[in-house]
């Protein structure tokens, strides 16, 4: 291989492992370890962040630099990245649309003809059924909060509540949670002295305060978001007994819709569980429950029980005809 070809292959290999030994690289490239040392020196002179570590456990490590160096992708990696960018540009990464389009344009411009044909074949064979639009999220806000979660640094956020009120809060972020078409920040609200969830599309801005913190006994962020999205937006709280075990019920009821609990007092020892959920109206709750393929009984509140009876009577009346006796 020429020196330039060898350097390109070395660039493609280096990021694939945390550490490479000189012998491993020499075997992969078909050269001596002395040539590997010279090539690593050339990469350093070109500004690539390759670090040499001496000793029996040493080798060559790709360290983080001050800027993103050019990447070398093999054929499968290039196709995978282009297809992923195209899927994301279709709306699955709100707030990053411009960056996705420019990154995709750069890659498509340099794709070899054979790889461009492979990508085109996948595109021609694939049709996409659009789903609900994702909520737009400000990229800078996302990065600030992600850094705060990882670095355990408090942040101040400007937030719009569900009622349209603008508030400012100092929070100690725990996790960012992606739930369907929405993303949430789970954080400890310093002023309220309690854990809260915040929809990221309602966060107008976020800034790092520089104040470090340490969480003590934090909650499960998934449980907190599931409870907030299933119960938080609604004044109507409903308790239902399902005639299946809890594990079976969880296959039918998403965590973002309701919380499945063990039944402490199952009737006659039958396998049952409890479902807690919220709803906009009694009719909406009963309509949702009617789509679950298990037996159910509304325990509370009375208005939802009444809506269940009314729906049952209406369905029975419409379908009772000649030859069908009332049950």
Q: What is the pLDDT of residues 249-292, one digit of tens each?
A: 999 998 888 889 888 888 877 889 999 998 889 999 999 999 99
Give domain 139-216's CATH number out of 2.60.40, 2.30.110, 1.10.287, 2.30.30. 2.30.30
Cα 196 from Cα 301, distance rounded (Å):
26
Instruction: Specify the pTM.
Output: 0.61
Of the candidate ranges 5-14, 104-113, 188-197, 318-327, the one whose mean pLDDT is the lowest: 318-327
Per-residue model confidence (pLDDT) at position 89: 63
Please state which architecture CATH assigns to domain 3-62: Orthogonal Bundle (1.10)
Query: At residue 314, does pLDDT exceed 60?
Result: yes
Between 75 and 129, whose confidence is greater?
75
Mean pLDDT throughout 185-204?
93
Instruction: Lowest mean pLDDT of 125-129, 131-135, 163-167, 249-253, name the range.
Output: 131-135
pLDDT value at 93 more than 60: no
Average pLDDT of the residues of the chain: 84
Whether 55 has a pLDDT exceeding 70, the answer reads no
- Which one is predicted more confidently, 309 or 80? 309
Architecture (CATH level 2) of domain 231-319: 2-Layer Sandwich (3.30)
Task: Give which of 314, 295, 312, 246 is closest to 275, Cα–Cα.
Answer: 246
Least confident of 9-23, 117-131, 204-218: 117-131
d(C-alpha 141, C-alpha 275), whole Å = 35
114 pLDDT above the threshold of 90: no
Please report which confidence band the pLDDT of residue 221 belongs to, taking 50, 70 and 90 as the band edges.
very high
DSSP code string of 253-267: S-TTTEEEEE-SS-G
How far apart (Å, rounded) are the C-alpha atoms in residues 220 and 198?
A: 15
- For 62-66, 124-128, 165-169, which range has the lowest pLDDT when averaged over its residues? 62-66
Q: Is the pLDDT of residue 305 over 90?
A: yes
Does residue 312 register a pLDDT over 80? Answer: yes
Q: 131 near 181, Cβ under 8 Å?
A: yes
- DSSP calls for 184-238: EEEEEETTTTEEEEEEGGGEEEEEEEEEE---SS---HHHHHHHHHHTTT-SEEE
Identify the weakest region by mean pLDDT among 47-56, 63-72, 164-173: 63-72
pLDDT at 321 over 60: yes
Q: Is the pLDDT of residue 16 over 80?
A: no
d(CA 110, CA 98): 19
Half-sphere exposure of 2 (CA within 13 A, CB side): 2
Mean pLDDT lowest for which of 120-134, 219-233, 295-309? 120-134
Domains in the chain: boundaries = 3-62, 75-125, 139-216, 231-319
Residue 68 confidence (pLDDT): 64
> What pLDDT, on a 0 to 100 scale, did the predictor assign at position 84?
80
Q: Tell me if 107 sits within 8 A of 72, measured CB to CB.
A: no
- In a 3-state reduction of DSSP, which class is residue 297? strand
Look at residue 229 in the predicted model and tell me its pLDDT: 79
Q: Which of 263, 259, 142 is nearest to 205 (CA)?
A: 142
Q: Rounded to whole angstroms, how far apart are CA atoms 94 and 136? A: 5
For residue 320, name the pLDDT band (cuts at 50, 70, 90): confident
State what percent of residues in the chain have pLDDT above 70: 88
Q: 51: which strand partners?
A: 61
């Amino acid at each position: 291989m020429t020196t330039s070809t060898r350097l390109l292959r070395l660039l493609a290999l280096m990021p694939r492992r945390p550490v490479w030994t000189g012998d491993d690289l020499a075997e992969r490239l078909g050269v001596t370890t002395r040539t590997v040392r010279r090539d690593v020196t050339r990469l350093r002179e070109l500004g690539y962040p390759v670090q040499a570590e001496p000793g029996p456990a040493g080798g060559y490590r790709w360290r983080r630099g001050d800027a993103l160096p050019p990447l070398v992708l093999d054929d499968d990696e290039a196709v995978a990245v282009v297809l992923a960018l195209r899927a994301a540009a279709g709306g699955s990464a709100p707030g990053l649309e411009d960056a996705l389009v420019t990154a995709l344009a750069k890659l498509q411009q340099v794709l070899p003809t054979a790889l461009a044909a492979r990508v085109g074949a996948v595109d021609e064979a694939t049709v996409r059924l659009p789903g609900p639009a994702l909520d737009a999220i400000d990229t800078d806000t996302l990065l600030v909060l992600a850094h705060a979660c990882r670095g355990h640094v408090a942040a101040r956020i400007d937030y719009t509540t569900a009622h349209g009120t603008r508030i400012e809060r100092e929070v100690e972020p725990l996790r960012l949670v992606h739930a369907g078409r929405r993303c949430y920040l789970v954080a400890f609200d310093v002023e309220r002295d309690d854990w809260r969830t915040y929809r990221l599309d309602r966060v107008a801005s976020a800034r790092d305060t520089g104040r470090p913190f340490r969480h003590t006994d934090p909650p499960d962020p998934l449980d907190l978001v599931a409870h907030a999205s299933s119960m938080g937006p609604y004044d109507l709280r409903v308790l239902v007994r399902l005639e299946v075990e809890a594990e079976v019920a969880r296959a039918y009821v998403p965590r973002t819709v309701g919380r499945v609990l063990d039944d402490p007092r199952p009737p006659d020892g039958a396998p049952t569980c409890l479902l807690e959920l919220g709803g906009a109206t009694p009719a909406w709750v009963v309509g949702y429950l009617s789509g679950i393929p298990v037996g159910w009984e509304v325990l509370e509140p009375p208005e939802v029980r009444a809506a269940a009876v009314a729906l049952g009577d209406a369905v029975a009346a419409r379908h009772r005809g000649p030859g069908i006796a009332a049950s």
